[in-house]
Amino acid sequence: MSKRIFKNLDDFIEIHEPNIDELNEFLIEEIIEDKIEPTNKTILTRYSKVKNYIREKYKEISEAELKQIKPPAEIVNAVLDSDAKLKETKKNIKFNQKLVDKILSFKESKNLYEKFIYLQFVSGRRVSEIKEFDNIVKLFKNNQNEIKMKLNKKTHNNFEIVKIMPNTIEPAEFKKQLKKLRDIIEDIHTDDYTKRLNRFIKKNLGKDYTTHSLRGMYGSYMFNKHNLENLNINAYLKNLLNHDSIDSSISYSNYQFEK
């Protein structure tokens, strides 16, 4: 999806040399008025990716102009309202070592959903960050538990450090398996794949779990097993999940690992 948007964006800029107002109008058509009808959160993610793409490729567009490229206020407010309501009704999500071991047993699975679940769980990444090629992965030299990756929901386009769960998979093998999986499912829309994956998770891992739960369980498990600096949970999750604000990390503190 992002590749198509980027190509259309390049063509539009090359042919029309638009001002910011014209660019915003184009992006509304390209990002929001999509026949697949993306969710509001997907729209926000697309805008973030487009801004990073423009920032990196079109240096002549200033930061002041980039700030004018943004989704309609009603979409932003709808997401904020939805998130606030979810936080008010959020319940604790419990999981145990038996469930962790089941997920880790998917490492050698030939099932695409199980492989996706495994890679998402051991890295704590979002579905789109696992699925989409825009989220580039680089390796460190002689590092057994960390990779560098371009992440979603960032105001920059820099690489961030991602911790691989210790004693699960080597970074080089993680990158190899990720590419192999992305090649196979590339033509499936991310929203569609997320829905399929959620159905599989509820059927095979438990009705209380979703793709988002894998990220939360990763954070809780790492906090309980690999918190070497003895940080409090919110500070630990902020660093681990690459959040810009500790407020984002608080929303993951309801995941409880039962020892």
| Region 56-83 average pLDDT | 89
Please write the tens of the pLDDT for every residue from 172-187.
999 999 999 999 999 9
pLDDT in the model for residue 33:
81
Three-state SS for the chain is CHHHHHHHHHHHHHHHCCCHHHHHHHHHHHHHCCCCCCCHHHHHHHHHHHHHHHHHHCCCCCHHHHCCCCCCHHHHHHHHHHHHHHHHHCCCEEEEHHHHHHHHHHHHCCCHHHHHHHHHHHHCCCHHHHHCCCCCEEECCCCCCEEEEECCCCCCCCEEEEECCCCCCCHHHHHHHHHHHHHHHCCCCHHHHHHHHHHHHHHHCCCCCCHHHHHHHHHHHHHHHHCCCCCCHHHHHHHHCCCCCHHHHHCCCCEEEEC
Distance (Å, whole) CA 143 – CA 145: 6
The encoded tokens of residue 149 equal 């990756």
**Mean of the per-residue pLDDT values of the chain:** 90
Whether the Cβ atoms of residue 47 and residue 70 lie closer than 8 Å to each other:
yes
Please write the tens of the pLDDT for every residue from 124-161.
999 999 999 888 999 998 888 999 999 987 778 889 99
- 214 class by beta-carbon count within 10 Å (0-12 exposed, 13-18 middle, 19+ buried): buried
Distance (Å, whole) CA 126 – CA 121: 9
- In whole angstroms, how far apart are CA 242 and each of 133, 178, 215? 19, 20, 12
Please write the tens of the pLDDT for every residue from 192-226.
999 999 999 999 999 999 999 999 999 999 999 99
Identify which of 118, 86, 120 has the alpha carbon closest to the alpha carbon of residue 104: 118
Side-chain-side CA neighbours of 219 within 13 Å: the count stands at 29
Higher pLDDT, 84 or 101: 101
Identify which of 86, 87, 85, 78 has the alpha carbon closest to the alpha carbon of residue 40: 78
pLDDT in the model for residue 87:
62
The encoded tokens of residue 92 equal 């604790």
pLDDT confidence band for 35 (50 / 70 / 90): low
Helices 112-123 and 97-104, packing angle to 10 deg: 120
